Amino acid sequence: MDMQATKKKLGLKERYQVMTRGLDWTPSYQKMEDIYPYVAYEGIKIHDWDKWEDPFRLTMDAYWKYQAEKERKLYAIIDAYAQNNGHLSVTDARYINTVKLFLTGVSPLEYMAHRGFAHAGRQFPGAGPRVACLMQSLDEIRHAQTQIHALSNYNKHYNGLHEFRHMHDRVWYLSVPKSFFDDAVTAGPFEFMVAIGFSFEYVLTNLLFVPFVSGAAYNGDMSTMTFGFSAQSDEARHMTLGLEVIKFILEQDPANLPIVQRWIDKWTWRGYRVLTLVAMMMDYMLPKRTMSWKEAWEVYFEENGGALFKDLARYGITMPKCAETIALEKDHLSHQAWGTFYNYGAAAAFHTWVPEKDEMDWLAAKYPESFDKYYRPRLEYWREQAAKGNRFYNKTLPMLCQTCQIPMLFTEPGDPTKICYREVDYKDNKYHFCSDHCKEIFEHEPEKYIQSWLPVHQIYQGNCFPEGTDPTGEGFDPLAAVLQYYHLEFGRDNLDFEGSEDQKNFDTWRGMATKNV
């Protein structure tokens, strides 16, 4: 990069003052509570907004300069990758299923984050957090756009990416990430900042963007590597904002501590449940693996998050209670999730498969306590059945957790042979949960979570068929109708990778790229 470092007239700290608080003013003819109507109702007490300090002290002029440089680099790489048919250099076509899951599950969240930060930023009376939220809001729309641009190249060649936005609002497993973000943006501005700025950005995104994106590079996907790292370069700033928010709120008033602690507990768990998809992507969907989910969790949560919570102990913050449950799940999470998707492979917009023998050996080495004992025999049985022409597809619909909306696939903490069920009676209805933590979240805010749009309930209520469908008609096929409603083409976008159009096309095209035909 040939970047000029210009001589500044002001130092970093003075420039930050001038370009944030220096641009603010005190209103004279409107009341503060009318301008910032949402700032008080959550119970957070702020006495001095000027105590806010952005550690990076990034100002808007510098922001535009560096973001423009990031975009130039990113688009040069994306163009080169597309022009060179880079999609044919990925390890094998199974890999492409990770980008399908990414585009349908994650990219729409980037757009929601853009909206969320624009909204939350508007609500804060302090100029420092408003400027930081403005930058993050712009970052997030950039992430949505660059991901859509980068992955559109795959849509030209492979199935399952064509209706990512339509699917995001409808498909059963996509309600997990969607409802997570909808939950956050419908909270108050302080809770949103703790939910996304802290629990998600600081504690958890390292697991999504760092080892997974490094894994994309390892599997030859230069376009995902480049948008992933480009996004993550902004995340470093977001994490800093997230940590700053927590420290600022806690330093302002001791009465804020119990409110913040409850939000940290809630959102660490909510974020972790969404990462179930990432766990499965890392352990099962990357043909060449860099790091197991368990290893990534140990590095980025236990080690890094542990250091963070030790640092925050001076404010009275403690490690979320759910960390103990998570530690018990880390040997099982990805295996249970992949097993579920293998079951429901007829209703997913990506392909599933049984891992090859060398991949099972890798899993056994990474999960010596669990893989050979609980999960390999099941996978081998499925492979035998598939070889006999009995590829297993589950045709019934699973019960979903009312809070995280994930099928009840998780096992009891400490007993991987027993499915974990919890239930609560509330106002004449029974609600079901995957864990003690999802149950506790519901019990604290039942009026919010009884409104959950649960895909399975909606299907049974007849709300997920194309308009004009008659479910009482002769030979009605509910699965076919639901897939039409999803805009998911049976036999093309779903089912096993073995025998898929993606598999055939990739082999043919790669052959054409290396031989004269």
Partner 1 sequence: MSTVFIALQTNEDTRPIIDAILADNPHARLNEQPAMVKIDAERTLTVRRSSIESLLGRDFDLQELHINLISLSGNIDETDDELTLSWNA
- State which residue, 247 or 330, has the beta carbon closest to partner 1: 247
Instruction: Give least dist CB 373 to partner 1, A.
Output: 30
Instruction: Give least dist CB 135 to partner 1, A.
Output: 11
Comparing CA positions, the residue from 315, 311, 300 lying closest to residue 268 is 300
Show the tokens assigned to 148.
């859509």
Instruction: Give least dist CB 286 to partner 1, A.
Output: 11
Residues 92, 122: contact at Cβ < 8 Å?
Answer: no
116-150 burial string, b = 16+ CB within 10 Å, else e?
bbbebbebbebbbbbbbbbbbbbbbbbbbbbbbbb
Instruction: Give least dist CB 233 to partner 1, A.
Output: 5
What is the C-alpha separation between 517 and 512, in angstroms, rounded? 6
Instruction: Give least dist CB 70 to partner 1, A.
Output: 6
What is the C-alpha separation between 465 and 478, in angstroms, rounded? 8
What is the C-alpha separation between 62 and 54, in angstroms, rounded? 14
- State which residue, 1 or 517, has the beta carbon closest to partner 1: 1
Instruction: Give least dist CB 291 to partner 1, A.
Output: 8
Instruction: Give least dist CB 442 to partner 1, A.
Output: 32
Show the tokens assigned to 192.
């949103």
Cα-Cα-Cα-Cα torsion 78, 97, 104, 190, nearest 10 degrees, comes to -90
Show the tokens assigned to 245.
């928010």
Q: Which chain residues interact with partner 1 by CB under 8 A?
A: 1, 3-8, 11-13, 55-58, 62, 66, 69-70, 73, 206, 209-211, 213-215, 217-218, 225, 229, 232-233, 235-237, 239-240, 243, 290-291, 303-304, 306-308, 310-311, 313-314
- State which residue, 209 or 410, has the beta carbon closest to partner 1: 209
Residues 70, 62: contact at Cβ < 8 Å?
Answer: no
What is the C-alpha separation between 93 and 105, in angstroms, rounded? 19
Coil, strand, or helix at residue 496?
Answer: strand
What is the C-alpha separation between 286 and 46, in angstroms, rounded? 46
- State which residue, 67 or 458, has the beta carbon closest to partner 1: 67
- State which residue, 245 or 483, has the beta carbon closest to partner 1: 245
- State which residue, 155 or 304, has the beta carbon closest to partner 1: 304
Residues 238, 136: contact at Cβ < 8 Å?
Answer: yes
Show the tokens assigned to 408.
């009840």
Instruction: Give least dist CB 503 to partner 1, A.
Output: 25
DSSP string, 279-318: HHIIIII-SS-SS-HHHHHIIIIIIHHHHHHHHHGGGT--
- State which residue, 13 or 45, has the beta carbon closest to partner 1: 13
- State which residue, 4 or 417, has the beta carbon closest to partner 1: 4
Instruction: Give least dist CB 141 to partner 1, A.
Output: 18
Residue 424 belongs to what H/E stretch?
strand 422-426
What is the C-alpha separation between 405 and 432, in angstroms, rounded? 10
- State which residue, 11 or 511, has the beta carbon closest to partner 1: 11
Coil, strand, or helix at residue 487?
Answer: coil
- State which residue, 56 or 490, has the beta carbon closest to partner 1: 56
Instruction: Give least dist CB 248 to partner 1, A.
Output: 13
